[in-house]
Amino acid sequence: MWERLSHQKVVDLASDGYGVIRPADGPVVLVPFVLPGEEVDVWITRRKKQVWYGEVAYWHTRSSARVQPACADFGTCGGCRWQMIDYAAQLQYKKNFVQQAFHHIAKLPIPIPMPIPSPHIWHYRNKAEYAFGQTPQGELVVGFHPRGHFAKVLDLTRCQIVPPAFETIRKIVAERAKALHLLPYDPVRHTGLLRSLLVRGTPARVVVFLSLAEDRPEIAQELLLPLVENLSAIQGIGYFYNPKRNDSLHDLTPILLWGQAELLLEVVRRRYFIGPKDFFQVNLPQAENMVRWIAERWPPEAHTLYDLYGGVGFFSVALADKVKKIVLVEKLPEAVQAAERNFAENKAAFPQTTYEVFTGSVEALWDQAIQEGEASVAIIDPPREGLHPSVRRALARGPFKHIFYVSCHPATQARDVAELTRSYTIEAVQPFDLFPHTVHIENLLWLRRRF
């Protein structure tokens, strides 16, 4: 029998979006979908040594920041967690997350400005990866996993953060799969065929790839060719053959069935080709805003730009006209190939700039790729886990005149910056909200070498 706690005050939001309750005679309780200032009764659903988890049993008071969610699936879908919060309040909470990370982890009580709001708070994503599953009655569905349930799939009403064209594609594929009596892949029993549906692009340009547990190109064609016939925005279709136990696509080869696998996106007057697996910012207007923020602070004496964790060259291509030389380091070979193509595609915009590309991890290639120079600038955009310890140590020695550090995880960024401030001062910091209605925030730092 679950324990019920009555008249509990929500005092804060944790960085993962849970509301924080501090009972007088027990451990902290984390509760989803509540806001600071609200008073609730809570059912305790799970206990750990230092923290309990609960669900709301009854609301006594509600926050003035609470709004009606736009999505009919909110609260069940594992995507957005904050649709019940007014957007202005979302930005304030995200600012607090960055502030707390730098204060508690980096021990740097620097003032954090309000995040730059997203120009569009709905239909802003240019990528969605849907899963195939079944209802309890055995009907095939295409949607998203409920949070914490990798084996279940929610049949969406209509996702509100992707373009409407994505939802049209999802529904066409779902209906076609039902008509063909195809089975979804079961991640517990490891049976079935259909694993996931990758859709990325803009309302005008879209590529679509299936992930199949068997190498069945004829099935992929049956499911995807109707998209080509009915939707003018489709630029390419294909599939991944994935016989593994996990759903990761990074080590799989995309198999093109029609059109082109690469998607052409235009950002800050640059043209980028990205493959089905390549990382690219999911919110294009905010990606432009980040580039402009860096450009406004760009040191005029800069000669060389080091684009570390450079991916397909987004930042270095956008800023290439400001330097004489670019050095890009990226460990994924497909991304390196895309970066080289993107440099070539945009070369007319920076005819005097040379570029050099290294394939491998930053930590492995540091001595080979990095030539210390007084007029050098680095843009570092690592994954969520932040910088490798050896890279932190190398950066802390001060090889660059300026660093622009882009991060989607303020906690690991704060950990890294605590070491970097041995040699650098923080000139500016600016969060950008690339992910409205979620707990995620992108943060940009400008660091200048002390000596």
Residues of the chain with CATH 2.40.50.140: 3-61
* Fold designation for 127-266: OB fold (Dihydrolipoamide Acetyltransferase, E2P) (2.40.50)
Cα 317 from Cα 331, distance rounded (Å): 18
Cα 9 from Cα 301, distance rounded (Å): 54
Task: Decide: helix, strand or coil at residue 293.
Answer: helix
pLDDT of 1: 55
Residues of the chain with CATH 2.40.50.1070: 127-266
pLDDT of 159: 95
Q: What is the DSSP string of 40-72?
A: EEEEEEEE-SSEEEEEEEEEEE--TTB---S-T
Phi-psi group of 47: left, alpha or beta (phi > 0 → left; psi -120 to 50 → alpha; rest → beta): beta
Count of Cβ atoms closer than 10 Å to residue 333 Cβ? 10
Q: Which CATH architecture has domain 92-119+279-449?
A: 3-Layer(aba) Sandwich (3.40)
Q: What tokens were used for 79?
A: 């995507």
Cα 351 to Cα 268, 346, 358, 412, 442: the distances in Å are 17, 9, 21, 37, 32
pLDDT of 177: 97
Apex 233 CA angle, 230 and 236, nearest 5? 90
Digitized pLDDT (tens) for each residue of the chain, 451 residues in all:
578 999 999 999 998 889 999 998 889 999 999 999 999 999 999 999 889 999 999 999 999 999 999 999 998 887 899 999 999 999 999 999 999 999 999 999 899 999 999 999 999 999 999 999 999 888 999 999 887 777 899 989 999 999 999 999 999 999 999 999 999 999 989 999 999 999 999 999 999 999 999 999 999 999 999 999 999 999 999 999 999 999 999 999 999 999 999 999 999 999 999 999 999 999 999 999 999 999 999 999 999 999 999 999 999 999 999 999 999 999 999 999 999 999 999 999 999 999 999 999 999 999 999 988 888 999 999 999 999 999 999 999 889 999 999 999 999 999 999 999 999 999 999 999 999 999 999 999 999 998 7
Q: What tokens were used for 15?
A: 């960085």
pLDDT of 36: 96
Taken in order 218, 222, 227, 229, is the CA torsion positive or negative? positive
Taken in order 428, 267, 305, 405, is the CA torsion positive or negative? positive
Q: Which CATH architecture has domain 3-61?
A: Beta Barrel (2.40)
Cα 95 from Cα 304, distance rounded (Å): 32
- The conformation of residue 117, written as its DSSP 8-state character, comes to P
